[in-house]
Amino acid sequence: MSSGASIDFTLGSRRLASVDRALATWAFSLEDALDGSSPLTPPPLGADGLRVLSAPQSRIAEIEERFPNHLLGSRQSYGRHYIAMEGNSFENYLAGFSSKTRSTLRRKARKLAKEAGEYTLTEHITRAEVEAFLEAALPLSAKTYQARLLDAGLPDSPEARAEMLNKAQNGQMRCFLLWVGKRPIAYLSLPLVGNTLVYTHLGYDPEFARLSPGTVLQLIALERLFAENAYAYFDFTEGEGAHKAMFGTDSIECSSFVLLSPTIANRALLGARASFDGAVEAARSVADRTGVLTKIRSALRA
């Protein structure tokens, strides 16, 4: 069974161009990645091959051996951050931060309350509560940096809404909204897969960005989730990020990549992607040394 996928040309997290391919998807859950002894059962190949998401580094050679005639490319490597929650408490979790970081987190919460006004957090679990969450969060998501620049806002399609509501019906959603007065300023959406909370969407109102509402929301939500004593992991999924690295307690080295059939077109595509990535990395190195990189990131968020 194949599905639509693309080979993306990205600058940081921003997609500049993409080329469509018919690929099956093979995504490793956090438990899959951590359990190095589990057998690999890939799906049937798509017409152009396979997209592999968050494969643990220790198993990539084994994956390549299963597809000796395919081209491996478009590879991105990263630490997959997560929080080990089982048998842990919020107090012990906080103790894992440095005293400086704990002080910074408290200061962010005080600053938000002082400059924006007293804030509240609402939790949304049932189907009706998740419907209310979507009504408030979707208009907010459309304004966020994540939606405007990264194509990573809260999905607003009938299919995505139905999936979230069905999960809520089965007790498999945990959603949070941070409010200042009657105005939602940040949201967090967490599907529950087995005993693992999956970090899928976090966004905040850009007008409040300097007050770190996403950080404040994340910490309060974690305090409530630890109190439930019902989860094994909080999975920050694939991709690096300062937010994930700060809040995660552990990480496992993973890679995402594609395995394409060895056609001339696919060879050319992967060659172009590799050349593009090399040019971006060279430019990034120069920008980092000269201090331009920080200015570019600020401009992209403006």
Residue type present at position 236: F
Question: Does residue 23 surpass a pLDDT of 90?
Answer: yes
Where is 2: in which H helix or E strand?
Answer: none
Give per-residue pLDDT as tens, 172-197.
Answer: 999 999 999 999 999 999 999 999 99
What does the longest C-alpha to C-alpha distance in the chain come to?
Answer: 61
User: Tokens in use for 107?
Assistant: 């200061």
What is the per-residue pLDDT for 285? 76
Q: CA 90, 93, 99: angle at the middle one, nearest 5?
A: 115
**34/92 Cα distance (integer angstroms):** 23
- Going from N- to C-terminal start, the domains of the chain cover 3-79+251-301, 86-231
CB-based contact 77:281 (threshold 8 Å): no
What is the per-residue pLDDT for 302? 47
CB-based contact 26:52 (threshold 8 Å): yes
Q: How far is CA 178 from the centre of its chain?
A: 19
DSSP assignments along 273-298, one per residue: HHHHHHHHHHHHHHHHHHTHHHHHHH
Single pTM value for the model: 0.85
Task: Note the CATH number of domain 86-231.
Answer: 3.40.630.30
Number of residues that this document lists for the chain: 302
Mean per-residue pLDDT, 255-277: 92
